Structure 1
Amino acid sequence: MVTSLDKKTALVLIDLQKGIMQFPIAKPVNEILEKAAALVSAFHKANLPVVVVNVDPTKSLLNTLRTDANAKFTSFPDEWFEIAPEIKTIESDIFITKHTWNAFTNPNLDIELKKRGITGIVLAGISTSVGVEGTARAASEYGYNITFAEDAIADTNADAHEHSIKRIFPRLGEVDEVDKIIDALSAR
């Protein structure tokens, strides 16, 4: 349950890109995108930062370090990296490309947040147990207060999603629905 949001809170969206949307997501993708879009709109209205993260696994060190062929990513069409059109970005949004599970491995994420005095983040996106959880663990280590938008997060594996939502995320921050997070955003 969200109790409050920091005055300086940013929305961080993880991997809501066309290529990821092609995976078999355990929740309806259109619902995730609708909830994420509502958060984007609310953060824009509140004049708070929106961080849009996409993943490019082709530049991951795992491609050179791992020997199993299933772990290697070599190329994707350009549109694979494009953010889903339902997410209405604006020029002042922060765009970050990550190459691993954790968006903070791109040092620009922490730099951009610190530059704006951000102390809290709201996390949403795909995949719950990979990109969202990886980023959340790092955000916790960096000292950010974290709120998870439960109904704007999904995974390809329903059991992994439930484990992250019920067991991991409550240890890192607060978990609630988008509507309640938007209410807390208005009340801050």
Structure 2
Amino acid sequence: MTETTYPRGRTALLFVDPYNDFLSEGGKVYPRIKPIADEVGLLDNLRRLDGAIRAAGIQVVIVPHRRWEPGDYETWDHPNPTQRSIMTRHSFARGEWGGEWHPDFAPKPGDLVAHEHWGQSGFANTDLDLLLKQKRITHVIVVGLLANTCIESTARYAMELGYHVTLVRDATTAFTHEMMHAAHELNGPTYAHAIRTTAEVIAALPTASLAEEIIK
């Protein structure tokens, strides 16, 4: 892949599903992601990337999954396997701690929050594309959860809509090494314009001097 730069005013960080249930001790899904999250340094990388992105003056967009409510999916003809699991587990329940933002990644003034997605793509049946187009965004850096589901679906959809797409291999995680491998080594190269590490993305941001201080 060729060297990538991220123009200020045309780039957005898409942070997918930064919920307590995914990212916090005690979250309903956290035990399943913890081994690989710890291995790749997920939380520290997300913190460093979030800080560097903001220091560079790049737009942050929160891309949240549907918060579960009683009755969700139960009358659907064909809920997908993840939705069936949510029916049982009640992940990201509205009004509960698990459905609140991880405190380090809650929206800040100036951030955008897209409508909640029901499936895996942050673009399908939401206003995400509209929000990005109104900001004249052309490049998206996609991070969050999970690498082989919502990250892949959101990033692939972004490519279909004409955005330049960057995946960050250590700013996401999955349930297994096989899923991570599929996301970054098998599937990602078929649609992503760049697959980078957190350090590589930070080094390419417009305010490199500030970013270097953050990553140290």
Shorter-chain TM-score range = 0.7 to 0.9
Equivalent position SS for 2:41: helix
Instruction: Find the partner of 2:166 among 143, 147, 161.
Output: 147
Deviates more, 1:86-95 or 1:8-17: 86-95
Task: Report the counterpart of residue 203 of structure 2 in structure 1.
Answer: 183
Equivalent position SS for 2:168: strand
Equivalent position SS for 1:28: helix
Unpaired runs of at least 5, structure 2:
209-216
Measured on the aligned residues, the alpha-carbon RMSD in Å equals 2.6
Corresponding position: 1:94 with 2:103: no
> Which residues in structure 2 correspond to 1:121-140 (within 5 Å)?
121-140=140-159
- The TM-score, its normalising length taken from structure 2, stands at 0.77
Instruction: Find the partner of 1:27 among 26, 31, 36.
Output: 36
- The TM-score, its normalising length taken from structure 1, stands at 0.87
Task: Report the counterpart of residue 49 of structure 2 in structure 1.
Answer: 39
- How many angstroms apart in 2 are the aligned matches of 1:98 and 1:150? 22
Instruction: Find the partner of 2:101 among 46, 68, 83.
Output: 83
Deviates more, 1:20-29 or 1:105-114: 20-29
Structure 1 runs of 4+ aligned residues shifted over 3 Å read: 57-63, 67-70, 72-75
The letter of the residue matching 1:28 is A
Task: Report the counterpart of residue 211 of structure 2 in structure 1.
Answer: none
State the shift of 1:88 in Å.
5.4
Using a 3 Å threshold, how does the CA distance of structure 1 residues 102 and 95 change in structure 2: closer, same or farther? Answer: same
Corresponding position: 1:64 with 2:76: yes
The letter of the residue matching 2:111 is D
The letter of the residue matching 2:13 is L
Deviates more, 1:76-85 or 1:24-33: 24-33
Which of these two proteins has the greater Rg computed from alpha carbons?
Answer: 2
Task: Report the counterpart of residue 14 of structure 1 in structure 2.
Answer: 16
Equivalent position SS for 2:3: coil
Using a 3 Å threshold, how does the CA distance of structure 1 residues 164 and 181 change in structure 2: closer, same or farther? Answer: same
